[in-house]
Amino acid sequence: GFQKISDNTAPITRVIDRGEGIYVYDTDGREYIEATASFYVACLGYQNAELIDAIEKQYRDLPFFVSALHRTNTPALELAEKLVEIVPVADSHIMFGVSGSEALDYLIKMLRFGAVARGEPERKTIIGRQGSYHGGTVASASLTGGHHEEFGLPIEGFRHVSQCDYHGHREPGETQSEYSKRCGEELRALLDAEPEASVAAFFAEPISFSNGFKVPPMAYFPAIKAVLDDYGIDLAIDEVITGFGRTGNMFGCESFDIKPDHIATAKAVNSGYFPLSAIAMSKSLYDDLERGSEDVGVLAHAATHAGHPVGAAAALKTLEIIERDNLVAHAASMGSRLANALESVRGHELVGDIRSFGLGSGVDFLKRDDNDVPVNTPEQADAVMSAVCEAMLEAGVIVRPAGRSIVIAPPLIIEGSEIDEIVRRLVRSLDRVAAQH
């Protein structure tokens, strides 16, 4: 995925053979710091013995059971209760899936079911943001704000507004508050152009990791929420990446004081040791689903592996470890160390911006001059990004290339000395690329 198919060759592909802590090792014996927790998933790193033991126990107790037709399993129920306790959605109800893509797809599907149950069948349009990535299913890829043309997407019922990219999109001298207001006005203009009572929800990530770690100004989400409230439109937050400690709070919503109607989670919920995702939906949507299923006689939706007992047991143990070992606070502390260390490269000739929040940072290669005007194109910045990413890989550090930037977001268990080593290797890689250019 995310490469040319013709690159699927033995000379190019690095086959990862094992992992330990924040490190992974390929079949040639090379060691790499996994500085993105492998697509922001492995929050507890690799070979966590306590988590593996919990998974093994569940395999021996009940390796699989489907949740449907008046039957379920104890770990799934316990995980649902735990999520209700911690998610920032009041009186929420939980629906499980297998991947983040499924969680977002299912939420879109449930929003449509709820609209029909309320007697508003036309309220099914979903608004996303350009450049945001939400998944690989047809619906979640339509919500995703890019790579549409080559797949014949989006399907009917999806609209997009601009990505929140203050560094890349601001007008010269435009303040964060002014920029946020302009984003809100763009959303209002789109809603005014849509048929009345046709839009169901606006979807966004607290931080757009997949678009290059775009951190919103603090005024951004209040500006968006004010518009949504004026039109009676739900706010759905994609916490697939930002959930479970990444932003220095348990959820990204809490870091930006966002009040969502629904959230979707996955990835770090069980550190990637077993596929699992979850939706936390509002009570009002749940009530619509309950009423609609009474009218129809059934909610004709299920997934064979949703609420899988092994995945649920892994998630329960992961959340126990995160809370017991204070990993959210640890992530915030390590994030501060990463942000401070990265200040050493802010003035580098290749670097245009450094964005840090929680245990995550983006190094952006779009540069601006003293008049706040970009001096290189996004395409030129992308070329530098790719070169730096390759140099980092050769230096034994895996980072994520995205949106003119490299993204650094290591496992929550990382220690300070390991943060420092990532930055040391970044400095060497930047210097190497600069010398070649």
Can you give the pLDDT of all 437 residues of the chain as single tens digits? 888 999 889 888 999 999 999 999 999 999 999 999 999 999 999 999 999 999 999 999 999 999 999 999 999 999 999 999 999 999 999 999 999 999 999 999 999 999 999 999 999 999 999 999 999 999 999 999 999 999 999 999 999 999 999 999 999 999 999 999 999 999 999 999 999 999 999 999 999 999 999 999 999 999 999 999 999 999 999 999 999 999 999 999 999 999 999 999 999 999 999 999 999 999 999 999 999 999 999 999 999 999 999 999 999 999 999 999 999 999 999 999 999 999 999 999 999 999 999 999 999 999 999 999 999 999 999 999 999 999 999 999 999 999 999 999 999 999 999 999 999 999 999 999 999 97
Radius of gyration of the chain (CA): 22
Distance CA 11, CA 369 (A): 41
pLDDT of residue 11: 86
DSSP annotation string for 293-362: HHHHSS-----TTTT-HHHHHHHHHHHHHHHHTTHHHHHHHHHHHHHHHHGGGTTSTT--EEEE-SS-EE
Torsion angle of alpha carbons 214, 219, 221, 223, nearest 10°? -130
Long-range contacts of 190-196, Cβ-Cβ distance < 8 Å, separation of 24 or more: 190/127, 190/159, 190/161, 191/227, 191/231, 191/233, 194/125, 194/159, 195/122
Task: Give the length of the chain.
Answer: 437
Distance CA 367, CA 1 (A): 29
Distance CA 237, CA 416 (A): 31
pLDDT of residue 1: 85
pLDDT of residue 150: 96
Backbone angles phi, psi at 161, to 5 degrees: -115, 180
Distance CA 17, CA 383 (A): 30
Q: What is the pTM assigned to this prediction?
A: 0.95
Q: How far is CA 70 from the centre of its chain?
A: 33
pLDDT of residue 10: 86
